Structure 1
Amino acid sequence: MKLLGRNHIIISVITFAILFLMNYLGNHEADKLERALMTACAGVIGLSIGLFILNKGKDDKNPPQNFD
């Protein structure tokens, strides 16, 4: 999956929506909007970093020898 491609943006929006709703609807504190936004943004950033690391070694022609 290409970073910031169509599929990445769709998955990021779905991840943001799920995390935001889970935190917003399940929280009864006074600052529930701020907490939900921060958690959803952190989830999307973590997803993007994970996909970047995953795609970094995807087309590597010389993988490390005896990796395991």
Structure 2
Amino acid sequence: MKLFGKHHLIISAITFVILFLMNYIGNDEADKVQRALMIAVSGVIGLTLGLIIMNKGKNDKTPPHNFD
């Protein structure tokens, strides 16, 4: 998947909506909007960082020796 491409933005939006709704609906605290927003944004950031790490070694022609 291309980083910051159309598919990445769609998956990020879906992830944000799912995490936001899960935390907003299931929380009875007074600051449930702020908590839900922080968790949803951190989930999207984690997804993006994971994709950066995954794409970093995608075109590596020299794998490490004795990886086992």
State the shift of 1:49 in Å: 0.2
CA distance in 1, matches of 2:64, 2:19: 37
Per-residue deviation, 1:66: 1.2
Matching residue's letter, 1:36: A
Task: Provide runs of 4+ in structure 1 moved above 2 Å.
Answer: none
Q: For 1:39 and 1:21, locate their aligned partners in 2 and report how far apart those are by CA, in whole Å.
A: 10
Instruction: Give, in whole Å, the separation in 2 of the partners of 1:36 and 1:49.
Output: 20
Q: Structure 1, residues 16-66: CA drift from partner, whole Å, max 9, x if none?
A: 000000000010100000000000000000000000000000010111111
**1:25 maps to what in 2?**
25
Indicate the residue corresponding to 1:40 in structure 2.
Answer: 40
Query: What TM-score, normalized to structure 2?
Result: 0.97
* Distance (whole Å) between structure 1 residues aligned to residue 65 and residue 14 of structure 2: 38
- Aligned identity (percent) is 71
Cα distance in 1 between the residues matched to 2:43 and 2:51: 12
Separation of aligned partners in 1, 2:14 and 2:59: 27
Gaps of 5+ in 2: none
Give 1:50-65 correspondences, 5 Å limit: 50-65=50-65
Provide the aligned C-alpha RMSD in A: 0.5
